[in-house]
């Protein structure tokens, strides 16, 4: 029988892309394998995955997608994360069926699941298939989740009420208020879901992480030394990154944003982009615009419909009504505003881009590292505030965007932070550090590099 590895990502586009890139990477090491990817339908709008899946299907015959039937869940939850956990729970029998069906024609050597899919760990145990977690974030997030049961035991209070610095092995002290939003209140169902998943990590065959050793050495060492699971087993850790989106085939037409970048001086443009779910209020969008204009810096800014507008089903932002009067006209020599989307990897790799204002999603962070572009860290959701602490204080490849207590960022802060990144000694220090990490990333993925050695060991264990 043929051999296969089955992957089960969370349905959000960022998680799917990371999982597919992992599948591609496995195939470069073990071309004799095939990859089967189980897809569930997202319980909320998390970015359209259909065009991406169609492209992968058309270009990589060794990757097969299995679409699970939609399941009905209660969508009244305040947190996307709760909806995801409910979806995975309800889909469990369907995943069991899919694995049994695949097993009829293939020997399944491993089942690799997203953190959110922890509920299906018992399915692989029943079927005696080795189960690995794939952490689409970095080692810092993994250290936090390993240590969460300890933090839970050490305090009776919710993170939102602790008003303290949390000391997680291998990480700088992190304000308790910087914990992922669904975890802030321990009476919330989401907290219980995350805590259960954190405990499940230790039951897995191993952890596959999208990072590389020299990017987060102190954090990885703390995990490997067992400090993050003081009262239990730390599973084997495989750091196989950086995994970033690779292009399928060549585009015939060069996009407007890349053509505009071609006309800009080297490293002169600040790129602002906030991920597939990153959306601001109208008031915040205007404040960003004022700050960019006052800074005098060249900019390429991706704008999505604000929260209120996005919910009304209007797909495209109306830039004239959202941005300050005359802003587009006054800044047209120095700036470009793009609606909804750009090819981020290509933009970051462009010689004209000298800085990146990012929501700190891990895919975006690794894309910036691989391009050698320094960052301003402006987290919006998920584990991004935790990522900011790691990027600013531990890895030192980003400057922080400082918010007011209600999360609002003033135009003065936007202006100051962008100028600091592009025109200061601090900015230069962050730039030289990220260029060093770019070289380290190349070395990790090269022959004999740490990530390549880790992946070789992992794939050989599936024989």
Number of C-beta neighbours around residue 176 at 10 A: 19
Q: How far apart are CA 264 and CA 252, in angstroms?
A: 22
Coil, helix or strand at residue 94:
helix
The backbone region for 169, taken as left when phi is positive above 0, alpha when psi lies in -120 to 50, beta otherwise, is beta
Give the DSSP H or E segment for 420. Answer: helix 411-422
pLDDT at 369 over 60: yes
In order of their start, the domains of the chain are 2-246+447-461 (3.40.50.2000), 256-441 (3.40.50.2000)
Cis status of the peptide bond prior to 323, with omega within 30 of 0 = no
Percent of the chain at pLDDT > 90 equals 83
Percent of the chain at pLDDT > 70 equals 95
Per-residue pLDDT band for 14 (boundaries 50, 70, 90) equals confident
pLDDT at 312 over 60: no
pLDDT, position 50: 87
Identify the CA nearest to 188 among candidates 290, 82, 271, 262: 82
**What digits encode the pLDDT tens for the residues 389-413?**
999 999 999 999 999 988 899 999 9
pLDDT, position 229: 98
Q: Which of 94-108, 299-313, 442-456 has the lowest mean pLDDT?
A: 299-313
pLDDT at 313 over 60: no
Coil, helix or strand at residue 401:
coil
Q: Which of 63-77, 104-118, 373-387 has the lowest mean pLDDT?
A: 63-77
Coil, helix or strand at residue 85:
helix
- Look up residue 119 and give its DSSP letter: G
pLDDT, position 310: 47
pLDDT at 38 over 60: yes
pLDDT, position 274: 95
Burial of 157-170, coded b for 16+ CB within 10 Å and e otherwise, reads ebbeebeeebebbb
Identify the CA nearest to 452 among candidates 150, 69, 26, 68: 26
pLDDT, position 25: 94
In order, the DSSP letters of 311-343 are: HTT--S--HHHHSPTTHHHHTTTTEEEEES---
Per-residue pLDDT band for 308 (boundaries 50, 70, 90) equals low
**What digits encode the pLDDT tens for the residues 45-92?**
666 788 889 999 999 999 999 999 988 776 666 667 888 899 999 999
Burial class of residue 266 (count of CB atoms within 10 Å of its CB; 0-12, 13-18, 19+): exposed
pLDDT at 299 over 50: yes
pLDDT at 314 over 90: no
Coil, helix or strand at residue 86:
helix
For residues 26 and 5, is the Cβ–Cβ distance under 8 A?
A: yes
**What digits encode the pLDDT tens for the residues 140-177?**
999 999 999 999 999 999 999 999 999 999 999 999 99
Q: How far apart are CA 226 and CA 223, in angstroms?
A: 5
For residues 341 and 254, is the Cβ–Cβ distance under 8 A?
A: no
- pTM for this prediction: 0.94
Number of C-beta neighbours around residue 414 at 10 A: 25
pLDDT, position 426: 97
pLDDT, position 13: 82
Q: How far apart are CA 397 and CA 434, in angstroms?
A: 5
pLDDT at 43 over 80: no
Residue 102 has phi, psi (to 5 degrees) of -65, -40
């Amino acid at each position: 029988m043929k051999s296969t590895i089955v992957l089960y990502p969370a349905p959000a586009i960022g998680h799917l892309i990371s999982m597919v890139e992992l599948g591609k990477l496995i195939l470069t090491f073990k071309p004799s394998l095939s990859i089967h990817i189980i897809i569930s339908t997202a319980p909320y709008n998390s970015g359209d995955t259909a065009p991406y899946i169609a492209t992968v299907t058309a270009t990589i015959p060794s990757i097969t997608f299995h679409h699970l039937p939609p399941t009905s869940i209660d969508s009244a939850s305040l947190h996307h994360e709760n909806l995801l956990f409910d979806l995975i729970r309800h889909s469990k029998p369907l995943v069991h069926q899919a694995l049994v069906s695949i097993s009829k024609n293939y020997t399944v050597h491993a089942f690799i699941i997203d953190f959110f899919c922890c509920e299906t760990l018992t399915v692989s145990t029943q079927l005696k298939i080795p189960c690995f977690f794939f952490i689409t974030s970095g080692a810092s997030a993994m250290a936090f989740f390993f240590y969460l049961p300890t933090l839970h035991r050490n305090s009776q209070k919710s993170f939102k009420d602790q008003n303290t610095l949390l000391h997680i092995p291998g990480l700088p002290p992190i304000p308790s208020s910087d914990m992922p939003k669904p975890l802030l209140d321990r009476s919330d169902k989401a907290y219980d879901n995350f805590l259960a998943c954190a405990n499940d990590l230790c039951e897995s065959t191993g952890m596959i992480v999208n990072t590389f050793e020299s990017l987060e050495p102190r954090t990885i060492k703390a995990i490997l030394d067992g400090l993050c699971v003081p009262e239990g087993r730390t599973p084997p850790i495989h750091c196989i990154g950086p995994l970033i989106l690779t292009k399928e085939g060549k585009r015939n037409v060069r996009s407007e944003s890349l053509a505009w970048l071609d006309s800009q001086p080297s490293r002169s443009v600040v790129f602002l982009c906030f991920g597939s779910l990153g959306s601001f209020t109208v008031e915040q969008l205007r404040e960003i615009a004022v700050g960019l204009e006052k800074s005098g810096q060249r900019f390429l800014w991706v704008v999505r419909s604000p929260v209120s507008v996005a919910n009304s089903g209007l797909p495209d932002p109306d830039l004239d009504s959202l941005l300050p009067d005359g802003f587009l006209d006054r800044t047209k020599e120095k700036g470009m505003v793009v609606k909804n989307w750009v090819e981020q990897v290509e933009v970051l790799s462009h010689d004209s881009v000298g800085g990146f204002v990012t929501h700190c999603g891990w895919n975006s962070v690794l894309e910036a590292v691989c391009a050698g572009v320094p960052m301003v860290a402006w987290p919006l959701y998920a584990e991004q505030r935790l990522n900011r602490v790691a990027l600013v204080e531990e890895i030192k490849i980003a400057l922080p965007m400082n918010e007011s207590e209600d999360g609002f960022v003033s135009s003065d802060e936007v202006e100051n932070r962008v100028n600091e990144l592009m025109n200061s000694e601090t900015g230069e220090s962050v730039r030289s550090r990220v260029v060093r990490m770019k070289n380290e990333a190349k070395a990790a993925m090269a022959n004999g590099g740490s990530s390549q050695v880790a992946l070789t060991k992992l794939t050989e264990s599936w024989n």
